[in-house]
Amino acid sequence: MPQDLPRFTAAAVQAAPVYLDPDATVDKAVALIAEAARNGAQLVVFPEVFVPGYPYWNWTMNPIQGSPWFERLQRAAVDLPGPHVEALCAAARRAGVVLVIGVNERAAHSLGALYNTMLTIGPDGTLLGAHRKLVPTWAEKLTWTPGDGSSLRVHDTPVGPLGVLACGENTNPLARFTLLAQGELVHAASYIALPVAPEDYDMAEAIALRAAAHCFEGKVFTVVSCSTVSPEIVDLIAGEDQELRKQLARPRSALSGVFGPDGRPVVEPLVDEEGIVYAEIDLARCIQPKQMHDIVGHYNRFDVFRLHVDPRPHRPVLFPDGSKEDE
């Protein structure tokens, strides 16, 4: 790990996609990347499945009603590699930023498999990683196929050792520990606005709580990016259902911001509204707190506890000659 730890500006984007339109959503992302770079950002983090949006119908319709919407999402999903990813890589290269952005990834081997995928792109436009959400949460299982351990990697970037998780994965202590144990100092946590959560669930509070926990436990910085629910999304999902329209407009459904190694917000988080949160990150602030609690070092008992992670990609078929090992 370098002695000269980076200081940089991080940008957490809180925005809605152009719903189910991957071309227009990528165009919007490219414009926001350029805006963040003009304001000095060296790390830009976007929401979960920003391209081209979140399957809210899983929460508001029964599976039969939602099935045509799954097909719409499948047709609008992103290929990896593919032109939409190339456009995002080019935008990161032009802006000279490290980019984290969520996409719906269309599987190469099956029309029925979609992945909730987080892309990490370097400032030279190189795709560093594509992390597929390990476990779709609750109703999300109607849409996404689970990922595997091959993408639980921390990437060496100009802004420091960077790891990413999507939404509910940030409640998984083993997934988080896997990243911390690889030297993670900067964590990107991407979410979607969830106005369809149970009545007693405050999504903004839940996001802040998860970010604070990971930061305090690991003595790291977390950049949180959450989507918003646009009027377009409300119109498409709710139609004339006034009760559902009211539910989709529920306040405190989104929070974006940056949290420090003490678990506190570095700057005031943004709640519900579209915008970009900027914060200065100094990774040297991670050193002294680790003297007290270093859960991947002296504050652990590796003779007592041992975590085994399977890093192998899970593929539908393997041939002895290796000819079909890659999807």
Q: Which residues are catalytic?
A: 48, 133, 167
Q: At what angle do helices 203-218 and 173-180 cross, to 10 degrees?
A: 40
Residue 280's nearest CA partner among 120, 4, 41 is: 41
Q: How far is CA 220 from CA 92, 211, 287, in A?
A: 24, 10, 9
Concatenating the DSSP letter of every residue in 71-107 gives HHHHHH-B-SSSHHHHHHHHHHHHHT-EEEEEEEEEP
Where do the H-state alpha helices sit in 121-230?
173-180, 203-218
- As a whole number of angstroms, the distance between CA 106 and CA 89 comes to 18
Q: Which amino acid is at 59?
A: W
Strand ranges, E, within 167-263: 186-191, 221-226, 255-259
Locate tokens 């190694």: which residue?
A: 261
Backbone angles phi, psi at 193, to 5 degrees: -65, 135
β-bridge mates for residue 165, sequence order: 189
Could you tell me if 36 and 66 are in contact, meaning their C-beta atoms sit under 8 angstroms apart?
Answer: no
